[in-house]
Amino acid sequence: MANANAARLAAALLTVASAAALAACGQGQQQQTSAPPPPTVTVAPPAQRTVTDQDEYVGRFVAVDTVEVRARLSGYLAKIHFTDGQMVKKGDLLFTIDRRPFEIVLDQMRANLSQARANLAFTEADLARGSELVHNKTITEQTYDQRTQAKRVAEASVAAQEAMVRQAELDLNDYSEPRAPIDGRIGDRRVSVGNLVTGGNGSNTTLLATIVSVDPIRFEFTFDEASYLRYQHFAGASARMADAQGGLPVSLKLLDEPDFQHIGKMDFVDNVIDRSSGTIRGRAVFANPEGLFTPGMFGRIRVPGSPPYTALLVPDAAISTEQSRKYVLVVDDTGVARQKYVTLGQLDGDLRVIKNGLVASDRVIVNGLMRARAGVKVAAQEAAAPAAAVSPPKAAAQAKSD
């Protein structure tokens, strides 16, 4: 009887164990069949195009010509012929100094000239008579020489008086009415009507106004010695680019503008590096027909920083950061995402130049980065290579800033 009970207990335990094993097997199969599929990502090869590295600098606009309008004559200011801040053309009348004293001086100089000419006419006639008298021995040779000398003195007096008349005419017609020597924008008047102005050629003369040229305008900036040496290394390529385009092209943006939309040309680099700062001065020229740029205004200029070269570009959104290093995810031949560390170049629209770390055949994940992980299999969908901008690059960001 005891043996029968033990057999029934053993059979029951075997039945429970078999049921548990079958349940575990079924659960494992259910877990295996419910495993998630690989994440779907979009991959594309890097874009290829010829690019030129760009360097950015901050600088100021300066006028090509700056002229201080000063009084050449002393006198009372009679009239002002401009509005403060207006545009003026070369030759425009700006001021009038009281002309009456200079008219009197001119009349006096003309009278002196008439007197000198009358004296010359007398000495010429006297010399003509003396030539016959000395021939007949009526007068001595000494007397004849004296008449000759008197004629020469009278001629010199006439020449001196003619010069005095020209000076008086210059004072009356030009110096008493200062005019604009250049085209540009004039500042505010420094002297009001009725004030006595001091003229002359020294530094103590009265400043009446200042004129600065507007179109074209220059932009001055400085760059360090290392950049200067780098530019020297590809000076040949820069010279060919400048010859092809009539000057090395540069672009500029103002402080409130998002893009480098103003195009100009480099026209000067200084011949000395400043000892105190270790920088050298560069200068570009820009057209300014609408007067948008004002001398003293700040701006950012972009200068070619390398010869043209073929580069690989990927969408900037495809680049990730690991501490201080940048990387992209690529999909290998087995469909597994792999991490590749890269060195970044400038930003060209939405694309970033990759200096090194990628090859043209790489399949870069450009969409679905949040679903992909390095070392994990993914379902890659092919996409076309990202289109590179055909217009000049927009904002340039240097790799060193990253």
Quick one: 205 and 78 in the same domain?
Answer: yes
How do residues 340-363 score in pLDDT, each as one tens digit? 999 998 888 789 999 888 998 899
Cα four-point dihedral sign 270, 276, 279, 282: negative
pTM recorded for the entire structure: 0.69
Exposed/middle/buried for residue 179 (C-beta within 10 Å: 0-12, 13-18, 19+): middle
Residue 388 lies in a domain: yes
C-alpha 31, offset from chain centre:
66
Quick one: 204 and 143 in the same domain?
Answer: no
C-alpha 220, offset from chain centre:
7
Q: CATH no. for residue 208?
A: 2.40.50.100
Q: CATH no. for residue 118?
A: 1.10.287.470
Quick one: 122 and 223 in the same domain?
Answer: no
Quick one: 204 and 230 in the same domain?
Answer: no
Exposed/middle/buried for residue 62 (C-beta within 10 Å: 0-12, 13-18, 19+): middle
Q: What's the domain range around 206?
A: 67-95+179-212
DSSP structure string for 256-293? T-SS--EEEEEEEE-SS--TTT-EEEEEEEE--TT---
Quick one: 171 and 202 in the same domain?
Answer: no
How far apart CA 400 and CA 94 sit, in angstroms, is 53
Preceding omega of 216 cis (within 30 degrees of 0): yes
Last residue of a domain, one of 304, 328, 351: 304
155 to 161, 162, 165, 172: CA distances (angstroms): 10, 11, 15, 26
C-alpha 369, offset from chain centre:
40
Length of the chain equals: 402
Count of domains for the chain: 4
Quick one: 189 and 241 in the same domain?
Answer: no
How do residues 218-267 score in pLDDT, each as one tens digit? 999 999 999 998 888 877 666 665 555 567 889 999 999 988 999 999 98
pLDDT tens for the chain, residues 1 to 402: 455 555 565 555 555 555 555 455 555 555 555 567 888 889 999 999 888 888 999 999 999 999 999 999 999 999 999 999 999 999 999 999 999 999 999 999 999 999 999 999 998 888 887 777 777 777 777 887 888 898 899 999 999 999 999 999 999 998 999 999 999 999 999 999 999 999 888 778 999 999 999 999 999 999 999 999 888 887 766 666 555 556 788 999 999 998 899 999 998 999 999 999 999 999 999 999 998 999 999 999 999 888 888 899 999 888 999 888 999 999 998 889 999 999 998 888 789 999 888 998 899 999 888 888 888 898 888 887 676 544 444 434 343 344
